[in-house]
Amino acid sequence: MYNILICDDEKDIVSALSIYLSTENYNIFTAYTGQEALDIVAKHDIHLILMDIMMPQMDGIAATVKLRETSNIPIILLTAKSEDSDKILGLNIGADDYITKPFNPIEVLARVRSQLRRYTSLGGMAKKASHLTNGGIEMDDESKIVTVDGEVVSLTPSEYNILKLLMENPGRVFSSTQIYERIWNEDACGSGSVVAVHIRHLREKIEIDPSNPRYLKVVWGLGYKIEKEAKQ
């Protein structure tokens, strides 16, 4: 059974989400501030977090930043705003997805299932080699460990799966639409900025000089690829 943490300062929203998710037999934990969420994660094995952005004491942005220092569990942000800037902000700080209030229960369940599938590697992309190497990047898909020049790199589930897709197909160009549809398993309407944010995060983690990448290349007007390199 998966443990899901719902964190929102509006008790009615926490209650509604708890009801929706309980129908799927998830084990629900609840919090009403970012600090309460951190305390619960420290004491329990949480598999996914639904986190409101605007909360007292510690908001969802600060809590997500703190969580990403030690954990890669999926985080879906809840926001009352629909502007792209709020969505991009959430992705910039390490969130894996977002849901705009008021939300549709079916959408909530679908996004939770999707994130849990990626996190536990059930379903999703077909398995290929369990160990992938490209230049100084090594990916062990059984242990979910990525190293660059021997140093372990901490990736979110979405970042990991994008890197895996590209490393399984070195030299092949994937458009933003293709990446989004393969990783998020949904239509890619307006997904370009979402993919771009994750690509930037990946570069910051795997490249010595993200502005002049050795591995993760942009093919202007077409998409992204991993430059094929021999191991040094």
CATH number of the domain that residue 61 is part of: 3.40.50.2300
Q: What are phi and psi of 87, to 5 degrees?
A: -65, -45
Greatest CA separation found in the chain?
56
Domain that holds residue 222: 131-226
> Of the candidates 74, 92, 120, which is a domain's last residue?
120
Is the bond preceding residue 102 a cis peptide, omega within 30 degrees?
Answer: yes
Does residue 126 fall inside a structural domain?
Answer: no
pLDDT confidence of residue 126: 37
Distances (CA, A) of 219 to 110, 175, 182, 226: 32, 9, 19, 10
Indicate whether 78 and 170 sit together in one domain.
no
Residue that terminates a domain, selected from 74, 100, 120: 120
Angle at 60 between CA 56 and CA 65, to 5 degrees: 125
**DSSP 8-state class, residue 227:** P
Residue 100 banded pLDDT, cuts 50, 70, 90 = confident
In this predicted model, what pLDDT tens digit does every residue of 116-153 receive, in sequence order?
A: 888 776 443 334 457 899 999 999 988 889 999 999 99
Average pLDDT over residues 197-201: 94
Strands 223-226 and 27-31, by their bridges, are unpaired
pLDDT for 125 equals 32
Q: Which residue has the higher pLDDT, 184 or 205?
A: 205
Residue whose entry in the numeric block shows the structure tokens 């799927």:
24
Report the domain count for the chain.
2
Residue 140 lies in a domain: yes
Same domain membership, residue 157 and residue 79 = no
Better pLDDT: 215 or 142: 215
Same domain, 7 and 100: yes
Which H or E run contains 217? strand 216-219
Q: Is the pLDDT of residue 199 over 60?
A: yes
